[in-house]
Structure 1
Amino acid sequence: MTPTVAAAPTATAGAGTPGRRAVPVARILRMELVKQFSAWRVRLLLLLCWLGPGLLVFGIDQQSTLPSDTLFGRWMHATGWAGSLVVLGVAGTWALPLVTSMVAGDVFASEDRLGTWRHLLITVRSYRRIFAAKAIAGLTVIGLLVTGLALSGIVGGLLAEGSQPLVGLDGHLLTGADAAGDVLLAWLCVLAPTLALAGLGLLGSIALGRSPMGLLMPMLAALGMQLAQLLPLPVAVRLALPGYAFVSWNGLFADPQQRGELLIGVGVSLAWAVLATVLAYLLFLRRDFTNLNNDGAGRRALTLGVLPLAGLLAATISVVAVVTDGGDSGITQDKVQRSMATAFTHLYRYQQAQMRQPPVTEAELQTSASCDKSEGLGSQQGPGNDWRCTVSYNVPGYNATAQAIYQLDVSATGRYIADGDGPVQLNGYFLIVSGGQAVPNPLWQFDGNVDLLPG
């Protein structure tokens, strides 16, 4: 069999025996799924993804200390939906890249290690059907693993704390039903960057053959994108990276929702997923399986792999820069001040309700914030842990103005942690007394999010 004959689209005949029908894709897919679920690593991943997050969330919830440095971690004692979001944050950083590496990064390379390509091609007699069956089988397993991560985290959190209201990133309260919808939507959105990593896994599995670098391709790509997100990159470059949707789901938990970054991140991720899969398909069609010493694409990996993806990155950067006018970091003094004033207003009202105080409206508080970076020296924009904000508000019932001080650590992605620095009676204590019980003080420390796109 030659690559030219094997790659030819044959509906009723293949190379060798005229008139012999090619094996249907459904039969090949069934065989590939059996091979996937027979592997011990896939069974282990299924067990970990369907049980691990729920047990972890339930166990953490029983502890007195919480992962307060993790987004929504400090709210795990308040609502079960926070636990699922903690799982989502960790999954986007480690679990989902690992899942795509173990499945998509090995779906083709396993045939090279076992030396079964010739037998498979003689049996099936169609490159296209083999590629389709393997790709669909890999995506099916990845879908089951992601579903397990989502459902396990949700069930574990709800069993621990129930469907209580969730505090959003701007301090407003989401009802249990609203939180459920946003949590499910967030998990649905991270499927896009997961598919992008899966496409890179397919490409690496075909291009590099039995080399372990093919297996590590999604993990290395995810690690590189995470490191890039820590750098002070322009907004256009940041949004053009296919893994940004692992971060931009945060905007769903603001009011109004910050959907611009998320939609761009999802669109870019899907473009990478499609292109990487098409490139993997083209490399597979041109693969020489008659040479047993050749288990990769060789020079074609550069011309049909790296260069088109680099071109896509350059094109998306250009398009996003024109559409969003994102030539800087997107973190400005005015945005930080507006975000702090909004979050403080919502959280102050929440704190007063916890302490059984009379309700107060936003109009009565008239909250404003004055923030500066590096004590007002240098440029007043960009990420850093040297932001300081003074929040001014009217004290209800006293016709007087009070102030609260916060130290801010603003990340390059727009997420910040505001740490209370006085007055003591407002934000100086981690716990406050509510109904005779000690509960977390929402104004002691809280998370916020700055929309990187222009208003």
Structure 2
Amino acid sequence: MTATITENVTVGTPRVSVARAYRFELVKLLSQWRIRLVILACWIAPALFVAAVSQQDSLPVDTLFGRWMHATGWAGPLVVLGFAGTWALPLLTSLVAGDVFASEDRLGTWRHLLVAVRSPRRIFAAKALASLTIILSLVAGLVCSSAVGGVAAVGNQPLVGLDGHLLSAGDAAGKVFLAWACALAPTLALAAIGLLGSVTLGRSPMGLLLPALVALAMQLAQMLPLPVAVRLALPGYAFISWNGLFTSTAQLDPLLIGIVVSLVWAVAATGLACLLFLRRDFTNLTDDGSPRRALVAGVLPLAALLALTVGVVAGTTGAMGSGIERTKVQDSVAVAFAHLYRRQTEELNRPAVTEAQLKASAACTKGSVTDGAQGAGNDWRCVVSWHLPDVVATGTAIYQLDVTPDGRFVADGDGPKEVNGFFLVRTPVGDAPNPLWQFDGNVELLGSTKG
């Protein structure tokens, strides 16, 4: 016959509130040297990193917005966001949420805590809120530090958007902080998975590593040629889809879906963790988690949730295939080229021209496929055509494209040299490469195709 802990409080014993328990748990977390060290690093290291990289001759052009770190201080926080969504935030959630319950198992302090608080429900709420507070402070440190470092090193300059249009400094700042705010949703999902792992696996190190392993699995999945409905249904997609904020016509549908899916996962994983914690037999000193319980009560419900979200996303959006189609690629390349051509014209002091006057268009092929070309790959080739006022001849330029499965592409100029070759142009912040030489773009996976 096993004993269970109930909510009943002995007469005359003061009730320990969630607020008092929360303060106690927060002090316990902050008393750990590794937590204090990580908080300090998140508030200092990004500023140093952004400032140092912005002064280098070689920029991380393989990262989104990395090629603009010489031009504006607002590119740095976006580079840090890309890195944080891939590596930093999963590891930070593992360190905090993945260990908040398991630490009691390792130290054998559950009985003392239960005697003091007398409510597993309030203990769970206090630990979850304390870990959430630490995680939010870490995210705040990352964004504030990287923004301060970028603006201090480079300046509060306009930012070139993902389709080549120019965002004012104020607009860029607002969208940078909004992008970081959107990344909170998948961070909460990983934190909830960390709570679930910490509850179900106890002192096992797998509970500590669970958020990082889940994030790694999602990153690998995004590299595979999966249907777009599956991509959008993964709780980490909002770590990617924030780039839709930086186009002239914001690509909000994938971002909103990614946020909603992440929040659903956060609520579901937290609910499972709470249910399992309340049903735990604390009188059994050997009951500190088991792989079988983790599989039955953790993995299987979340796998069912993934299948459900895939079905809902596919049914509500009608998303089919990879989402990368020839007409979408052509539209994205043409729009980006028109914006950047106008920027190049201004930097070379040529007569002003508007995007409407250029009437830029693109004809793209993938390998040897013309009609019906689709899917990711580095074998896309696009020929861009445009017109200048009072000029009869049609201008053309060739680009080689590397399109990733998530819709991002890098266009590499392949001639003529005077249009999209490598040469330096003078900008307000100094000499910079020809903006038409290489540029980033994004294909909205849920975007409608034009005829």
Give TM-score scaled by structure 1 length: 0.96
Aligned residues of 1:355 and 1:435 also touching (Cα < 8 A): no
| Counterpart pick for 1:51 among 37, 44, 56 | 44
Distance, in Å, in 1 between the alignment partners of 2:386 and 2:314 is: 38
Q: Deviations over 1:170-211 (max 9, x none)?
A: 110100111111111100000000000000000000100000
Q: Tell me whether 1:350 sits opposite 2:350 in the alignment.
A: no
Worse-superposed segment, 376-385 or 231-240 = 376-385
Aligned residues of 1:101 and 1:201 also touching (Cα < 8 A): yes
- Report the equivalent of 2:301: 308
| Counterpart pick for 1:37 among 30, 49, 57 | 30
Contiguous gaps of at least 5 residues in structure 2: none
Q: CA deviation at 1:44?
A: 1.2
- Report the equivalent of 1:424: 417
Question: In the superposition, relative to structure 1, how do residues 47 and 67 fare at CA in structure 2: closer, same or farther (>3 Å)?
Answer: same
Amino acid at match of 1:226: Q
- Report the equivalent of 1:9: 7
| Counterpart pick for 1:385 among 378, 390, 393 | 378
Matches within 5 A, 1:63-212: 63-212=56-205
Distance, in Å, in 1 between the alignment partners of 2:258 and 2:429 is: 45
Aligned Cα root-mean-square deviation (Å): 1.6
Question: In the superposition, relative to structure 1, how do residues 435 and 278 fare at CA in structure 2: closer, same or farther (>3 Å)?
Answer: closer
- Report the equivalent of 1:230: 223
Distance, in Å, in 1 between the alignment partners of 2:423 and 2:47 is: 27
Question: In the superposition, relative to structure 1, how do residues 249 and 403 fare at CA in structure 2: closer, same or farther (>3 Å)?
Answer: same
Give TM-score scaled by structure 2 length: 0.96
Distance, in Å, in 2 between the alignment partners of 1:297 and 1:130 is: 21
Q: CA deviation at 1:2?
A: 5.9
- Report the equivalent of 1:360: 353
Q: CA deviation at 1:22?
A: 2.9
Aligned residues of 2:105 and 2:203 also touching (Cα < 8 A): yes
Aligned residues of 2:326 and 2:372 also touching (Cα < 8 A): no
- Report the equivalent of 1:286: 279
Moved over 6 A (4+): none
Distance, in Å, in 2 between the alignment partners of 1:436 and 1:213 is: 49
Distance, in Å, in 1 between the alignment partners of 2:404 and 2:432 is: 28
- Report the equivalent of 2:364: 371
Question: In the superposition, relative to structure 1, how do residues 224 and 378 fare at CA in structure 2: closer, same or farther (>3 Å)?
Answer: farther
Query: How many aligned residue pairs are there?
Result: 448
- Report the equivalent of 1:25: 18
Distance, in Å, in 1 between the alignment partners of 2:70 and 2:224 is: 33
Q: CA deviation at 1:289?
A: 1.6
Q: Deviations over 1:219-272 (max 9, x none)?
A: 000000000000111111000000000000000001110000000000000000
Worse-superposed segment, 357-366 or 318-327 = 357-366
Distance, in Å, in 2 between the alignment partners of 1:254 and 1:449 is: 8
Q: Secondary structure at the match of 1:226?
A: helix
Aligned residues of 1:287 and 1:296 also touching (Cα < 8 A): no
Aligned residues of 2:91 and 2:212 also touching (Cα < 8 A): yes
Aligned residues of 1:22 and 1:126 also touching (Cα < 8 A): no
Contiguous gaps of at least 5 residues in structure 1: none
Q: Deviations over 1:399-427 (max 9, x none)?
A: 21111000000000000000001011111
Worse-superposed segment, 432-441 or 70-79 = 432-441
Distance, in Å, in 2 between the alignment partners of 1:363 and 1:109 is: 61
- Report the equivalent of 2:443: 450
Distance, in Å, in 1 between the alignment partners of 2:206 and 2:343 is: 51
Question: In the superposition, relative to structure 1, how do residues 239 and 430 fare at CA in structure 2: closer, same or farther (>3 Å)?
Answer: farther
Distance, in Å, in 2 between the alignment partners of 1:439 and 1:299 is: 58
Question: In the superposition, relative to structure 1, how do residues 386 and 298 fare at CA in structure 2: closer, same or farther (>3 Å)?
Answer: closer
Distance, in Å, in 1 between the alignment partners of 2:388 and 2:213 is: 52
Distance, in Å, in 1 between the alignment partners of 2:372 and 2:97 is: 45
- Report the equivalent of 1:267: 260
